[in-house]
Chain A
Amino acid sequence: MRIKLEARAHTPAAVVYATPVVAALLTAVAGGVLFAALGYPPLQALHAFFIQPLSTLNGLAEVGVKATPLVLIAIGLSIGFRGNVWNIGAEGQLTMGAVTGGAVALAFYDVEGVWLLPLMTLAGALGGMAYGAIPALLKTRFNASEILTSLMLTYVATLFLSYLVHGPLMDPDGFNFPQSRLFHDSAILPVLGFTRLHLGAAVALFVVLAGWFVMARTLIGFQIKVIGLTPAAGGYAGFSQKRVVWLSFLVSGGLAGMAGLFEVAGPIGQLQPSISPGYGFTAIIVAFLGRLHPLGILLAGLLMALSYLGGEVAQIELGLPLAMTGVFQGMLLFFLLGADVFTRYRLRLGSPPAAARVAAAADKPKPAGEAA
């Protein structure tokens, strides 16, 4: 008896929604096994990772703080991924948004006014957009892989920020520390009570709704989906592939830029060499885990935010290395991609012996040289 994959003509909705949950559970199990193997008590470690951060009000607020950039960026990325446009340089666009928005804050240092935050947000979004426009231009004009160019630009952006805080934007009274002045009050996002949960979270929620509306109801969303699923059908319908590339990069770059600005105008409060623990990359996982659906992304963003916090708690409580967070995130995405196969294929058991022999032989890895 052998297990065979068979294409589905129709995918039940239950399967689509169940896979991320299954993937998350499998990750928890695999994580537990990993903890045990490393000599940490698995249940305690999992508790520290996933439950403890949620036990205080402040912890909940912190989940919101970390989910804000993840959700903002992932909504933008999901639009591109739907259209088969692979922006993986959101980290760079986030950095550039922080730079441009932060530069506005520093330019108007000590100038009071309610107009300043909107202006900074606009500058941040435009900065991210402009930076996202580079891979879009290189893709549409020169056919250069957006995956590689957007990623290379991330390194460039990080170096650029480092240059700025070591040079032109360094705090003149900062004893040569590589960081800018602390933003003044008018340039800091209002927060909820005594927490660090800032106005950016509300913006992220709004973006979730807007993202849902665009993808579900508008012609543009439809065009993106058609181009992403079947480019030839998009061409037949008269939808422009280049337009989808541009749109994807401008939207995802803009949102990433805005997320970057919210970080420096929110929890950080100044420009410094490192402003993100890889939100731009983690947002890729968030987008997939959320099934590229805005509401799914909201949930996935909260879960990923929890994994960041959990990593911190586990480090303090059990001395687990912070890098565990990345391992968890990678595993989660693996399990999701693996589980995804069942949305497109169905398992079938059993097939005649002769066929099974051939198929089994074909699945065994052999040196590339061996022919049939």
Chain B
Amino acid sequence: MSPTPRTDADRTESAPPTPRLALHGITKVFPGTIANQDVSLSLLPGEIHALLGENGAGKSTLVKIVYGLLQADAGEIRWEGAPTVIASPAEARRLGIGMVFQHFSLFDSLTVAENVALGTGDRTPMRQLEERIREVSTRYGLPLDPRRPVHALSVGERQRVEIVRCLLQDPRLLIMDEPTSVLTPQEAEQLFETLRRLREEGRTILYISHKLEEIRVLCDRATILRAGKVVDAVNPREKTARQLAQAMIGSDFATPARAAAAAVEAPRGDGLLEVERLNLASGTPFGTTLVDVSLSLHPGEILGIAGVAGNGQFELLSALSGETLVQDARSVRIAGAPAGHLDPRRRRELGLGFVPEERLGRGAVPDMSLAENALLSRGGGADDMVSRGLISFRKAHGLAERIISAYNVVAGNGARATAKSLSGGNLQKFIIGREIMRKPRILIAAHPTWGVDAGAAAAIHQALLDLRDQGTAVLIVSQDLDELFVLSDRIAVMSHGRLSESRPAHEATVEQIGLLMGGVFETSDAWEADAHAH
């Protein structure tokens, strides 16, 4: 799409309308990377415009420039035809630009109304503001109680706070950064309704996503970014998801090879990892309590756990890894042994491998070298890197080098590189490699490809499938349904601290899982109830 030059003809009735926002040749350079290079695009009134690209393509940087959080190194911004400098978010808001962040910019201990007041720069008295919040939120189908503290809200409700906060300022351009990544499919559908209504009112929506299907359903136009540059501008409805994906990734991507459906159909007997009626009060003030969670995981299968973040996944994972100990030792069993009272190290000795969600800061120490990070989850046995309390850095270094070469980890300094100097994808490959190198009998991976580039994601998926085929029991917790369908043999869903029964992946549908994610499980036969509905 070439930027429309603004001529006199624009002002006549028949000519295309003046773009609400036009970017010309925007360039932003960070040390070591060019985040945006000569990016141009224009957004029209009354359209939903997708900004499509994979992680690291430069979407967030571009959006931050539009919202005044970053300044472009070169290029021009025109707002409703006039060249503009957007120096700060306040400036952006004054122009009529609103933004809903991917990682919410909310304050947990404050109320909905206080959060809105902070975000709008609005000086109306709290009473009146509460009234307006009620009114606007009902009008757009986003009901909210302005007096509730934010920490008591679900993730979907928190997003509503963000949206209502924007809407109160009557924005002409609304930026949504990956809004559905935290929603159930049903909640996402509801959000789309709201967005369509906003479009009808003549507002412009810049919709950032890497989810192809929803872009095809929702958006009028799509600008595709790859490695910081605009590679294409299309009407997404005229393209297939595969075509969009190719434009986004650049080459034909390999889908991981799955072994024939030899996968376990209905596993019998005790699993390698058994969780039985696990109840756990959350240790953090804003956490989720686990209620009667049961699961069993068998050798040679991948069990996927779906669910919106913040529904107890964090608590379940830390109860499985041993970072949180549970009251009844028998409610977590590894290879038959009661493990609920064992610390992470003892669980590792029983054959557990664990890939945490937070790779920098939990899975790895940012300021330590890869060799030192290799020590974090060391196993016992003959090739232990520690004997009699003394560390063999030679062995640790060797292990790190082996992981780096086996998993194609790109690290400037090899085993001496600090963890924080690696890209997200490379660090994740290192961590997964480290856990797999230990030859675990059970591997638990949380959000294994979250924020990872497509190449690394494919490699990670392949590694997990290979591991499964070698007979390891694999548990994957993810928010990404596509990923779960690619990998899992069975799928279960987590919601409000409960875990549904699992179901073979090939029998499960997105709709069923969506209902379960929304907490609609009348006991265990929600699968059935929903199956009848279809």
Contact = CB atoms under 8 A, between A and B. Distances in A.
Interface of A: 6, 9-10, 217-220, 222, 225-226, 229-230, 232-233, 235-238, 240, 348, 351-352, 354-355, 357-358, 371-372
B390 A357 contact: no
Contacts of B417: 10
Given A217-B391, A222-B372, A354-B71, 18 more contacts: A217-B390, A218-B389, A219-B386, A219-B389, A225-B368, A226-B368, A226-B376, A233-B362, A235-B362, A236-B321, A237-B377, A238-B343, A238-B346, A238-B348, A351-B71, A352-B73, A358-B71, A372-B89
B88 interface: yes
Given A9-B420, A237-B344, A354 B376 contact: no
A238 B323 CA distance: 7
B105 to A, nearest CB: 14
A236 B88 contact: no
B458 interface: no
Given A233-B365, A235-B323, A219 B391 contact: yes
Contact of A236 (B70, B85, B356, B366): B356
Nearest to B377: A237
Contacts of B497: none
Contact of A233 (B73, B87, B90, B363): B363
A219 B418 CA distance: 19
B322 A233 contact: no
Given A219-B391, A352-B73, A354-B87, A232 B362 contact: yes
B375 interface: yes
30 contacts: A10-B413, A10-B418, A219-B386, A219-B389, A219-B391, A222-B375, A226-B368, A226-B376, A229-B366, A229-B367, A229-B368, A230-B361, A230-B365, A232-B358, A236-B344, A236-B354, A236-B363, A236-B376, A236-B377, A237-B376, A238-B346, A238-B347, A238-B348, A348-B31, A352-B73, A355-B71, A358-B71, A358-B88, A371-B121, A372-B121
A84 to B, nearest CB: 13
B240 interface: no
Contacts of B368: 225-226, 229
Contacts of B345: 237-238
A25 to B, nearest CB: 27
B62 to A, nearest CB: 16
Interface string B401-421: 000000000000100011011
Contacts of A232: 358, 361-362
B364 interface: yes
A219 B390 contact: yes
Given A217-B391, A218-B390, A230-B365, A235 B344 contact: yes
A241 to B, nearest CB: 11
A9 B390 contact: no
Contact of B421 (A10, A225, A240): A10
A351 B372 CA distance: 37
B391 A218 contact: yes
Nearest to B345: A238
B362 A236 contact: yes
A58 B256 CA distance: 76
A253 B413 CA distance: 40
Contacts of B390: 217-219
Contacts of B386: 219
Contacts of A240: 343
Nearest to A355: B71
Which of A222, A357, A372 gathers most chain B CB within 10 Å?
A222
A190 B423 CA distance: 59
A185 B320 CA distance: 62
B391 A222 contact: yes
Interface in B86-106: 87-90
A235 B325 CA distance: 11
Interface string B5-35: 0000000000000000000000000010000
Contacts of A229: 365-368
B88 A372 contact: yes
A357 B356 CA distance: 41
Contacts of A235: 323, 344, 362
B119 to A, nearest CB: 11
Nearest to A218: B389
A348 B417 CA distance: 23
A5 to B, nearest CB: 12
B282 to A, nearest CB: 16
Contact of A238 (B344, B366, B418): B344
Contacts of B391: 217-219, 222
Contact of B31 (A6, A226, A372): A6
Contacts of B344: 235-238
A144 B417 CA distance: 37
A6 B29 CA distance: 14
B110 to A, nearest CB: 15
Contacts of A6: 31
A145 to B, nearest CB: 19
Contacts of A372: 88-90, 121
Contacts of B421: 9-10
Given A217-B391, A218-B389, A354-B87, A233 B364 contact: yes
A218 B366 CA distance: 20
Contact of A226 (B346, B365, B420): B365
Contacts of A218: 389-391
Contacts of A220: 389
B71 A233 contact: no
Contacts of B375: 222, 237
- The 8 residue pairs across chains A and B that have the minimum distance between CB atoms: A238-B344, A238-B345, A355-B71, A9-B421, A232-B362, A372-B90, A237-B376, A230-B365
A217 B392 CA distance: 8
B503 to A, nearest CB: 31
Contacts of B71: 351-352, 354-355, 358
Interface in B154-183: none
A222 B371 CA distance: 12
A233 B323 contact: no
Nearest to B123: A371
